[in-house]
Structure 1
Amino acid sequence: MSNVMAVGGVLAALFAPAVATEPVVTPAERITISVETVNGSGCPAGTTQVSTAADNTAFTVSYSDYYVLAGAGAKPTEFRKNCQLNLRVQIPAGLTFAVSQVEMQGFAYLQRGAKGTQLNHYYFMGSSSTGQQSHEFNGPYVGGFRTTDRAASLVYAPCGQERNLNINTELRVDAGDSESGTSLMVMDSSRGSVRSVYHLSWKEC
């Protein structure tokens, strides 16, 4: 290959028009999310709040009475709790969204030999449920925890249809072979920056 052809190929590569990428779409108007129904021992009435980010890229679920206990002094029913939320998401016409990533934050105090588990899954009403994500923590463990689950594939709400979003979470703690003491896990917004953040991906219909 001649030097002229080689130089020409390099110049063509340098000055070739850039490949167009799909623009990032977010609603110009603030979206609203309301809690339609709440069920579960982890979220008694009045203990759960939902707020949306100013740029419409995420929403946050906060809890004020979501904890589990096992071991000394714990009741037999306190080792497992769950929360099921049915959310109505009002969005502008011509757009749809999917949950792209979930971040769960909390606090754990696990005795040696104890184990804690945090589970999460979500889906649109009338659609197939997403796979359940779970994370385990082994004692001894004292401190905050944070988990991140990214969607393997984006499942968008059907365009032009109002489909509520269901969110199911669960906490468990197993005292295991710990000899004494109490183990606990908490998702409680009163303890600081403890929350669940659901990141959104948008596209035009």
Structure 2
Amino acid sequence: MLNTAAAAFVALSALAPADVAEEPTAAIDVVTVNGSGCPAGDADVKTDGRTFTIGYHTFLARAGGGSSPLDMRKNCQISLRVTVPEGYTYGLARTTYEGYTHLQAGATALNRVNTYLQGSSANATVTHPFTGPFSDDWQTYYRPNSAEIQWSPCGSPRNININAEVRVTLGSADPDRLNFAIVETSRGVVRVKRC
């Protein structure tokens, strides 16, 4: 039985893409977490090699139920400094946002994520809409294929910037009833490759 398990492990290991398995480690430093949805010092940040996780306390947009017009949109800007061995470059390979949204019929919400390298005009934007009635947890993803990853120029490291927003629009919903969208957590993975 042990030989069967070992053979299965070897077979499964062979399925892992070689370029991912051989990627060197990277060090991520979350330089900035700031915005109307994440005031400075109001988020929990964890990094581990090529991954990062951010937990939010106040990333909440709302409309109706006595909300201020300023409450309908909140954003959070994240800036990542990535350190890799000489001769390598890096890019954002995946981000995941998780939260909860409660919408009455007629209300809408969205989670929009825009990513770009410091000093670059190129960017990628992904928008995930929600339509009321809706009341549930959600996850949204940005996962470009390898050719779409924005790689930092070799020998000229750039911060990776991620600007996320959550927005709630009252639409035809009852203005006396609260509609909201909360972002609870975001996670990301950085890819590393040779120049």
Aligned residue runs from structure 1 range 41-52, under 5 A: 41-52=36-47
Q: 1 CA distance for matches of 2:118 and 2:44?
A: 21
The answer as to whether partners of 1:32 and 1:91 remain within 8 angstroms in 2 is: no
1:106 is displaced (CA, Å) by: 0.6
Of 10, 21, 24, 1:27 maps to: 24
Aligned residue runs from structure 1 range 40-79, under 5 A: 40-53=35-48, 56-79=49-72
**How many pairs align?**
175
> Which residue in the other structure is 1:183 paired with?
179
Identical columns (%): 36
The unaligned stretches of length 5 or more in structure 2 are 1-16
Aligned residue runs from structure 1 range 129-168, under 5 A: 129-152=122-145, 153-168=148-163
The unaligned stretches of length 5 or more in structure 1 are 1-20, 189-194
> Which residue in the other structure is 1:203 paired with?
193
Deviation above 4 Å: which 4+ runs of structure 1? Answer: none
Q: 1 CA distance for matches of 2:28 and 2:162?
A: 16
> Which residue in the other structure is 1:100 paired with?
93
1:146 is displaced (CA, Å) by: 0.6
Deviations, residues 141-162 of structure 1 (Å, cap 9, x unaligned): 1111111222151221111222
Tell me the TM-score normalized by structure 1.
Answer: 0.77
One-letter amino acid matched to 2:152:
A
Q: 2 CA distance for matches of 1:163 and 1:157?
A: 6
Tell me the TM-score normalized by structure 2.
Answer: 0.81
When residues 185 and 83 of structure 1 are mapped into structure 2, their CA distance, relative to the original with a 3 A threshold, is same
Rg comparison, structure with higher value: 1
When residues 163 and 100 of structure 1 are mapped into structure 2, their CA distance, relative to the original with a 3 A threshold, is same
The answer as to whether partners of 2:30 and 2:78 remain within 8 angstroms in 1 is: no
SS of residue matched to 2:166: strand
More strand by share: 2
The answer as to whether partners of 2:47 and 2:53 remain within 8 angstroms in 1 is: yes
When residues 50 and 173 of structure 1 are mapped into structure 2, their CA distance, relative to the original with a 3 A threshold, is same
More helix by share: 2
The answer as to whether partners of 1:107 and 1:186 remain within 8 angstroms in 2 is: yes
SS of residue matched to 2:105: coil
